Structure 1
Amino acid sequence: MSSRALSFGAVAEAYERFRPGYPPELFDLVTGYAGKPVRTALEIGAGTGKATRLFARPGITVTATEPDPGMLAELRKHVPPKTKTVEAAFEDLPLDERYDLVYAAASLHWTRPETRWSRMAALLNPGGVFAAFGGPIDLADPEVEDAVRAARSPFLEDDDVPLPGADTRVSPSGRFTDLQHHVIERRFTMTTHDYVGNLSTISAYLELPPPQRDQLFNRITEVLPPTVAIKADITVDLARLAP
């Protein structure tokens, strides 16, 4: 577990306030893919519980795991009381329990690739579902994005957020089958204050010294209009453990 992966606890309240949650159609997509009732679910890197709240519905017992104690403390303020919470990295979870669903919301890239899929298989019931989903919060207007990029360039080359991609997607094998890839489109607006608040929860910014970070956020605020259009598509990768 890298120090960058554990950098979010100091901004847990901002993470909860400024990062958007997940839409109901994501729940419908995952459970529809399962094709049968999901009774138990394990969440990897639950953060402040944005996705936990989506899946912790009547009939589903969610175990939310999170290695950062600050994030886990914030999560416990917002999830249903029946939610099980565990302070642990994915690699440290015991393999003595299996689940109908294991999912990762913008967190799979923090797990170790060399053990990722063997551990995932050990945590799923036969025929159980794995889901990884996430997406960046991008400025929809290219001119506004260019202005922010220019303001950012003296401080950061980029602020890319690692997302599910070639290195995190399941490869077809005898272990996982029925691989699917989906995109849920999202468009909305944010105030400049909320947009910069979201940036303050991104690890690339958290690694900057506080004086530089504050100066950068001031520069970005100066080039933005009061309200910004956002493109925040969610990529969803699904797989099933072979029976």
Structure 2
Amino acid sequence: MTSRALSFGSVAAAYERFRPGYPGALVDAVLAYAGGPVATALEIGAGTGKATRVFAARGLAVTATEPDAAMLAELERHVPDSVRTVRATFEELPLTSTYDLVYAAAALHWTRAEGRWERAAKLLEPGGVLASFGGPLDLADPGLEDAVRCARAPWLADDDVPSPDGTPDSAAMQWPGTELSRSELFTDVRQVELDRRTTVSALDYVGLLSTVSAYLELPPIDREAAFGRILAVLPPQVDVVGDITLHLARLASDG
């Protein structure tokens, strides 16, 4: 796991405050795909529990794992007592328990590529479901998005996390669906798009940017300068597009 992947703990409270949650429609899509009872779930890289809450609210027994102590502490303040928490990276999890569902919310790309799918398969019950979901948080107005890009340019050219397998954004099937489709361990790979839109103040949008790993890697003085320049080009309220791409796959019978 890279230092960028472990950079969020320093802004755990801001992550909880400014990052959007996940809609119930996401859980609906996962459970509909499963097509049968889903009693137990393992969450990889749970962060502050944005996704944990919506799955636990449906009665699933969720084990939420997170390597960063500050993020896990924030999660424990917001999830029900029914959620079991474990401080560990995906790679550190013992392969002694299996689950009906293994899922990750904007976290799977931080896991180590080597052995990723083999480990996920070993954590699933026969016929179990793997779900991965997330998406960029962009301004709905392309002109504003360009203005923000120009404002941050002296300090940061790009704030995206590149696709782990190099799949371009224009491709019909995105990662991790690309790798899952090639894996013999999984079958019935699907990609589902879910709308997620919100309107926030300019200050809250900059607060959201303060939880993005690319900005967290900047020296503090540069980060604050970039945020000041970005805030100067924004109107008081901005519309944010945070559409979710959901990937689903089922453990193959011989997985």
Question: 2:25 maps to which residue?
Answer: 25
Once the 2 structures are TM-superposed, how far is the Cα of residue 163 of structure 1 from its aligned partner?
6.1
Structure 2 unpaired stretches of 5+:
168-173
Is 1:236 aligned to 2:243, yes or no? Answer: no
Q: Deviations over 1:42-63 (max 9, x none)?
A: 0000000000001013531000
Q: Are the aligned partners of 1:45 and 1:105 in contact in 2 as well (CA < 8 Å)? A: yes
- Rounded to whole Å, the distance in 2 between the matches of 1:59 and 1:194 is 32
Q: Calculate the aligned-residue CA RMSD, in Å.
A: 1.3
Of the structure 1 ranges 116-125 and 170-179, higher mean CA displacement relative to structure 2 is found in: 170-179
Q: Kindly, what percent of the aligned residue pairs are identical?
A: 65
Q: Deviations over 1:174-197 (max 9, x none)?
A: 421111001102222111011000
- Rounded to whole Å, the distance in 2 between the matches of 1:167 and 1:234 is 13
Is 1:222 aligned to 2:229, yes or no? Answer: no
Question: 1:168 maps to which residue?
Answer: 176
Of the structure 1 ranges 153-162 and 119-128, higher mean CA displacement relative to structure 2 is found in: 153-162
Query: CA 1:145–1:173 in structure 2 vs 1: closer, same or farther (change >3 Å)?
Result: closer
Q: Deviations over 1:123-160 (max 9, x none)?
A: 00010000000011101111111111110100001111
Query: Which residue identity lines up with residue 34 of structure 1 in the other structure?
Result: A
- Rounded to whole Å, the distance in 2 between the matches of 1:39 and 1:153 is 47
Of the structure 1 ranges 204-213 and 161-170, higher mean CA displacement relative to structure 2 is found in: 161-170
- Rounded to whole Å, the distance in 2 between the matches of 1:172 and 1:159 is 29
Please give the secondary structure, in 2, of the residue aligned with 1:29.
helix
Q: Deviations over 1:215-234 (max 9, x none)?
A: 11010000000001111110
Q: Deviations over 1:56-106 (max 9, x none)?
A: 135310000000011001000000001000000000000000000000000
- Rounded to whole Å, the distance in 2 between the matches of 1:96 and 1:63 is 13
Query: Structure 1 stretches (4+) deviating beyond 6 angstroms?
Result: none
Question: 2:171 maps to which residue?
Answer: none
- Rounded to whole Å, the distance in 2 between the matches of 1:172 and 1:129 is 16
Of the structure 1 ranges 171-180 and 139-148, higher mean CA displacement relative to structure 2 is found in: 171-180
Q: Are the aligned partners of 2:24 and 2:54 in contact in 1 as well (CA < 8 Å)? A: yes
After superposition, where does 1:62-141 map in structure 2 within 5 Å? 62-141=62-141
Question: 1:181 maps to which residue?
Answer: 191
Of the structure 1 ranges 179-188 and 131-140, higher mean CA displacement relative to structure 2 is found in: 179-188
Query: Which residue identity lines up with residue 27 of structure 1 in the other structure?
Result: V
Structure 1 unpaired stretches of 5+:
none
- Rounded to whole Å, the distance in 1 between the matches of 2:3 and 2:226 is 22
Query: Which residue identity lines up with residue 130 of structure 1 in the other structure?
Result: L
Q: Are the aligned partners of 1:113 and 1:168 in contact in 2 as well (CA < 8 Å)? A: no
- Rounded to whole Å, the distance in 2 between the matches of 1:54 and 1:187 is 17
Count residues in correspondence. 243
Normalising to structure 2: TM-score of the pair?
A: 0.92
Question: 2:170 maps to which residue?
Answer: none
- Rounded to whole Å, the distance in 2 between the matches of 1:109 and 1:62 is 21
Query: Which residue identity lines up with residue 78 of structure 2 in the other structure?
Result: H
Normalising to structure 1: TM-score of the pair?
A: 0.97
Q: Are the aligned partners of 2:176 and 2:247 in contact in 1 as well (CA < 8 Å)? A: no
Which one of the candidate residues 198, 204, 214 is aligned to 1:204? 214
Query: Which residue identity lines up with residue 156 of structure 2 in the other structure?
Result: L
Query: Which residue identity lines up with residue 31 of structure 1 in the other structure?
Result: L
Q: Are the aligned partners of 1:65 and 1:87 in contact in 2 as well (CA < 8 Å)? A: yes
